[in-house]
Amino acid sequence: MRAETVVCGTLVDYRGVHGEGCVVVEDGVIAGITSRPPSAVNLLDHRGRGAYVAPGFIDLHVHLRGLRLSYKEDEYSGTAAAAASGIAMVVDMPNTVPRLATVEALSEKLQALERYSLVDYSVYAGIPGDIEEASRLASMPIAGFKVYPGDLLDRFSVVRGILGSSDTLVVVHPELPEAEKPLVESNSSRTLHRGCHWEIAAVELIASLQPRARVHITHVSCPSTLERARSAGFTVDVTPHHLLLQEWSEDCLFRVNPPLRSPHYSMLLLEKLLGGTVDAFASDHAPHAVWEKSEPLTCRPGIPWLEAWPQMLYCLVVAKALRLDEYLWLVSRGPARILGLSGYGVLEPGARANITVFKPGPDRVLAPGLSKARYIPYFMERSCMEVLATIVGGAVVYREGVLTGETGAVNPLSWPGGAHWRPYHEKDSP
Ligand code: DOR
Ligand code: ZN
């Protein structure tokens, strides 16, 4: 029998380097691991070329926009950018137009993702106006709910109701509504007004509600927030910009929520990351049109990362700050664990056949061109590895700089049987 797809090279996942071998794919799933390639319809043989064959990367916080915001980004352009950087799954945010807080809007979004996404996907629902609509949304194939600062003001009782449900993931933007100020502030005054105290206060508020849901705090920008979130039993992610971007100016390119902090804080955040207290990297890919990023008075917050962040953060491995297995935990198994996807982020028989093939070096400048947001500030340009192929459910979506036109994308939360939606056990931790 000929295998559907076989991918050979140095096999590696969050458990470490397994040596040279091949991943054999059948029906979108890893059917086996072999030392030599069996006969295959589609053979990608990277043995002897210094390439790693790793589980597909996952970005659990992206804004693909679409719907009425397609001029900024859409489900196709955003996931094409993701595929080019080795990301085989994304989870989309609900602050679209319309907001994904009704069954109707969410259905429209899920249809667009099903039709256009090149990589596996899911979506978080926004907080609706009443708890009945929340139950309807929860029965749809979503990854969880997203809480924004405004929800704590306008829909607090619904937030509390959702947090009381034990089988839900609730992803929280950790700022209180009081932190949200007019857009015309400068970046440095925002850093003061939207200080770390608002982040910690938001985490305190959520913890005081004694949630039964799994709570994930996304884009922690302050070391103290991280400490507080972990002591409450919440998982946390960090963005590349809060971690590494130490030189920034008043330019709109650097406007982001939560704001960029001082170099001292990002160093402390990096120290926490290296100490193993972060569960995942997430990009918060937040694309806007060029004109929205050029005008200081109407400057929109957000940094578009999807085509660059795994390559840039690999520089931490090259610098020997992170080990390769730790990096793969943060870009793949860690996010899978937060999402509750047991069949993701690992190379073993029965897992979803999402695979990223990459090669370290050369240290070079990236020139992304698939995302609609092509304003690339200098700090996003650095790349320390090259993505050779991105494979989604066994389909080679991206190979050596080219989108192949193939896709095997699914929403794992609507997969028949839900085989990839099982809770994790402690032994999954590194
Ligand atoms: O900078 C940001 N941009 N932070 C957010 O929380 C939202 C995002 C966006 O949607 O543009
Ligand atoms: Zn976001």
Determine the Cα–Cα distance for residues 107 and 104; give it in Å rounded to an integer: 5
* Pick from 30, 31, 33: nearest CA to 19: 33
On the question of pLDDT at 302 being above 70, the answer is: yes
What separation in Å is there between the alpha carbon of 250 and the centre of ligand 1?
17
What separation in Å is there between the alpha carbon of 62 and the centre of ligand 2?
6
Where is 307: in which H helix or E strand?
none
What separation in Å is there between the alpha carbon of 367 and the centre of ligand 2?
23
Split at pLDDT 50, 70, 90, the class of 380 is confident
Question: Which atom of ligand 1 lies nearest, measured to the CA of 256?
Answer: 1
Tokens matching residue 371: 């995302």
Determine the Cα–Cα distance for residues 23 and 52; give it in Å rounded to an integer: 12
| pLDDT for 221 | 97
Determine the Cα–Cα distance for residues 415 and 84; give it in Å rounded to an integer: 25
Listing DSSP states for 179-231 in one string gives G---TTS-HHHHHHHT-HHHHHHHHHHHHHT--SSEEEE-S--SHHHHHHHHH
Is residue 255 within 8 Å of residue 299, measured between CB atoms?
yes
Nearest CA to ligand 1 atom 3: 302
Residue 110's contacts (CB-CB under 8 Å, 6 or more residues apart) are: 123, 140, 141, 411
| pLDDT for 398 | 97
Q: Model confidence over 239-253: pLDDT tens digits?
A: 999 999 988 888 999
Choose the weakest-confidence range: 223-237, 264-278, 359-373: 359-373
* Pick from 53, 76, 139: nearest CA to 387: 53
Q: Averaged over 204-228, what is the pLDDT?
A: 97
Cα dihedral 139, 140, 141, 142 in deg (nearest 10): -90
Determine the Cα–Cα distance for residues 221 and 257; give it in Å rounded to an integer: 9
Helices 263-274 and 223-231, packing angle to 10 deg: 40
Q: Averaged over 44-61, what is the pLDDT?
A: 97
Determine the Cα–Cα distance for residues 177 and 156; give it in Å rounded to an integer: 11
Question: Which atom of ligand 1 lies nearest, measured to the CA of 255?
Answer: 1
Q: Model confidence over 402-430: pLDDT tens digits?
A: 999 999 899 998 865 454 544 444 445 44
Where is 153: in which H helix or E strand?
helix 149-154
Q: Model confidence over 111-123: pLDDT tens digits?
A: 999 999 999 999 9
Mutate to test the pocket of ligand 1, among 95, 183, 283 (most ligand atoms within 8 A of CB): 95
Q: Averaged over 199-219, what is the pLDDT?
A: 97
| pLDDT for 247 | 85
Question: Which atom of ligand 1 lies nearest, measured to the CA of 93?
Answer: 10
| pLDDT for 141 | 93
Nearest CA to ligand 1 atom 4: 257
Determine the Cα–Cα distance for residues 398 and 346; give it in Å rounded to an integer: 20
What separation in Å is there between the alpha carbon of 333 and the centre of ligand 1?
25
Beta bridge partners of 26: 29
240 by DSSP, 3-state: which?
helix
The finding on whether 311 has its CB within 6 A of some atom of ligand 1 is no
| pLDDT for 430 | 46
Beta bridge partners of 243: none
Instruction: Give the CA count within 13 Å in the CB-facing half-sphere of 338.
Output: 30
Structural domains of the chain sorted by starting position, each given as residue range(s) with its CATH number in brackets: 3-53+350-364+384-421 (2.30.40.10), 56-339 (3.20.20.140)
The finding on whether 302 has its CB within 6 A of some atom of ligand 1 is yes
